[in-house]
Amino acid sequence: MTKIKDKTVLVTGGASGIGKMLGEKCLKQGATELVIWDIHQQNLTLVTEELRQKGYTVHPYLVDVSSLDDIRRAATLTLTEVGRIDILFNNAGIIVGKSFTEHTHEDIERTIRINVLGVMHVARVFGGEMIRQGSGHIINIASAAGLVPNPKMSVYAGSKWAVLGFSESIRLEFEALNDELNFDLHVTTVTPSYIDTGMFTGVKAPLLAPLLKPEDITDDILEAVKNNDIILRAPWSVYLIPVLRGILPARVFDMVVGYGLNIYSSMTSFVGRTTQDAVSNEKNTVKVN
């Protein structure tokens, strides 16, 4: 079982949303130090000051996870100034809520760089260190969108399908090392449905999948970490998707699940939000943490 107490935790996209909640809850549960990587200096400064005023040890780093050079720079600083990372939450990501042909090439490029390459490069840096130290836990925040297609989520869904396959593959590699060398390495993949953090303004929650409350899903994630769970899906209905996709013909799945449960129409009235926290100036691009 992974212990949070007395551990050093790193959260990418950790200055807002569920990333901020995960970091603060880890500190409340006894984590010794929290490392926050985020692209937004103002949020980073505010969260760091807030947590330090509560007596916690926090190390903020301004990082753009779409840039390999930035990841390498920040990783070197983190490992030099903080030392080992015991628990890594790969949480940073973006979504562009448009039909595929409305995406710009820049939308596509940035989504893949952040949601896929960023996750892989960050995991590569700290996963390698975890192997050297013989222990560690990586939590990759994927999405239920990695299990089911959805109009107006094409690039985002594609990125999360990639994260799901990647995350499960490195889990198997870590488990092989555990068996061979008696290491204590773990990977947990999280595939939540829509989370009610305000970034999915206009989304219509599908039937059987109400908007997840941030407090609840972050509690569930931390419990999954402590239990070394392989996969956390939320809400419960998300567990049905792989089963139904496996047994139903594609057209029947579309009719019964996609259209019948309103999954395929859930993004129809998506608006998103445009704030100073957005990683893009595109109207329908929002930051996800």
Residues acting as catalytic residues: 156
| Phi (first) and psi of residue 283, to 5 degrees | -55, -40
Measured in whole angstroms, how far is the alpha carbon of residue 83 from the centre of its chain? 23
Strand partners for 17: none
Q: Which helix (H) or strand (E) holds 95?
A: strand 93-96
Distance CA(29)–CA(177), nearest Å, equals 28
Contacts of 188 (CB under 8 A, 6+ apart): 137, 138, 139, 140, 221, 224, 225, 228, 229, 230, 231, 232
Taking residue 197's Cβ as centre, other Cβ atoms within 10 Å add up to: 19
Which residues are CB-contacts of 124 (< 8 A; sequence separation ≥ 6)?
none
Three-state SS for 213? Answer: coil
Closest CA to 167 of 182, 148, 146: 146
**Strand partners of residue 59:** 35
DSSP for 140-187 reads: EE--GGGTS--TT-HHHHHHHHHHHHHHHHHHHHHHHHHHHH--EEEE
Cα separation, 77 vs 239, in Å, equals 39
* Alpha helices, H only, the chain: 17-28, 41-53, 68-81, 105-112, 119-133, 154-181, 214-226, 240-247, 250-253
